[in-house]
């Protein structure tokens, strides 16, 4: 089974506010230690687990820090 964020059950959509229709998408996988470690090691300054921002989820690839990639 291929890991795909578009169909993943851990993808979470959070609206930015009532004034916009854009949405932030996050990964809510229970293995957050791996995500935190990857973001810390690579000095990424965004919110941990952030996947995409926009109207529809259009991400075509799975991020390198995805815990489901390691499970496969």
Is the pLDDT score of 71 beyond 70? no
Q: Which residue has the higher pLDDT, 20 or 5?
A: 5
Percent composition of the chain: helix, strand, coil (DSSP 3-state, to 5): 25, 20, 55
Give Cα separations from 48 to 18, 21, 69 (angstroms): 23, 22, 17
* Structural domain boundaries in the chain: 5-58
The pLDDT value recorded for residue 2 is: 65
CA 30 from chain center: how many Å? 12
Q: Are 72 and 1 in contact (CB under 8 A)?
A: yes
pLDDT of residue 72: 60
9-65 pLDDT, tens digit each:
888 888 887 777 788 888 888 887 888 888 888 888 777 788 888 888 877 778 888
């Amino acid at each position: 089974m291929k890991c795909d964020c578009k169909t993943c059950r851990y993808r979470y959509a959070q609206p930015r506010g009532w004034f916009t229709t854009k949405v932030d998408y996050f990964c809510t996988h229970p293995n957050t230690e791996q995500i935190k470690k990857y973001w810390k090691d690579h000095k990424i300054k965004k919110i941990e687990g952030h996947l995409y921002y926009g109207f529809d989820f259009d991400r075509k690839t799975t991020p390198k820090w995805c815990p489901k990639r390691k499970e496969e």
